[in-house]
Amino acid sequence: MVYLFKIRELCEKKGVSMKQAASDLGMTEQSLHKLIKANSTKIDTLLTIADYFKVEPAYFFDSHSGDTNQYVRIKKEEFSGLIKKVLAYSIHGFGLIKLEWNNNEQKFNTYFDILDKQYVPTGEDLEYISAILERKIELTNNTNPKDISKLLMTKDEFDFTSAYYYSIKKGQAQEELQKLSSFMDKHNIPVTESIKRDIRELNDKIKHYESKSIIGTNK
């Protein structure tokens, strides 16, 4: 569960008023108080707030610990859980994705870099995940990659990842709509019924992704 009341604590630590924080974040103080009271916000807003206070987004979830020791002792069971998270974060909630090495930037692409390169988990993948979980994954005709990701993630992790995914998809749809509008204006293309349908479909996608990119109690 998300806890946006922590914003007040962060303001105190940062030495800023709620009014100043709201202004820095590009919103009114009333909007910030409303956000905290509703305990719900868009994923991109949460990321902006986390960046402003220099904390990880996980800080706002109940599974987060505020301890910041330089050295961390970890039990074998916790290490196994860490492995599960590594696997979980190579899943964006809807399909398992293999990491790809980017020669130009000399780094592995994250799953957000390769959202459109999904693939369905193979039998070998599922056997490996079963070994990590130390329990057999029972497969049926209705099993899908989303089910597998839920096995590996906590609810908070899954909700956050899904909301982040939808916020990215919303941005992609908005960019596609902007490109279409700019192209039509530049070449004086008349709005036909076919184009109207395309615009309507893009707006419907944006609206759908917008509704899915909410974190908190109103989701």
- What are 109-120's pLDDT values in tens digits? 665 565 555 556
Crossing angle for the helix pair 43-52 and 155-186, to the nearest 10 degrees = 110
pTM exceeds 0.75: no
196 and 165 housed in the same domain: yes
Q: Look up residue 147 and give its amino acid.
A: D
Q: Is 65 contained in some domain?
A: no
Residue 108 domain-assigned?
Answer: yes
Q: Are 133 and 197 part of one and the same domain?
A: no
Same domain, residue pair 142 and 89: yes
Whether 67 maps to a domain, the answer reads: no
**Residue 203 scores a pLDDT above 50:** yes
- Count of structural domains within the chain: 3
**Where does a domain end: 152, 183, 206?**
152
Whether pLDDT at 174 is above 80 = yes
Predicted confidence at residue 6, as pLDDT, reads 92
Range of the domain at 161: 155-216
Do 26 and 11 reside in the same domain of the chain?
yes
Give the DSSP letter of residue 108.
E
**Domain shared by 172 and 202, yes or no:** yes
Which position has the higher pLDDT, 209 or 66? 209
Q: Which of 121, 152, 183 is the last residue of a domain?
A: 152
Q: What is the pLDDT of residue 71?
A: 44
62 vs 60: CA distance, rounded Å: 7
Higher pLDDT, 162 or 77: 162
**Helix or strand (DSSP H, E) at 180:** helix 155-186
Average pLDDT over residues 41-70: 76
Check if the beta carbon of residue 98 is closer than 8 Å to that of residue 90: yes
Lowest mean pLDDT among 13-22, 24-33, 156-165, 207-216: 156-165
Indicate if 40 and 101 belong to the same structural domain. no
| Tokens 């009114």 belong to residue | 28
Rounded Cα gap, residues 95 and 24, in angstroms: 37
Claim to verify: residue 164 and residue 105 sit in the same structural domain: no
pLDDT for 115 = 56
Q: Is residue 164 domain-shared with residue 183, that is, in the same domain?
A: yes
**φ, ψ for residue 95 (rounded to 5)?**
-175, 140
Asked if residue 35 belongs to a domain, the reply is: yes
- For range 195-205, the mean pLDDT: 95
* Domain match, 52 and 81 both: no
Confidence of residue 215 (pLDDT cuts 50, 70, 90): confident
21: domain CATH number? 1.10.260.40
Averaged over 78-100, what is the pLDDT? 61
Q: Over 90: is that where the pLDDT of 78 sits?
A: no
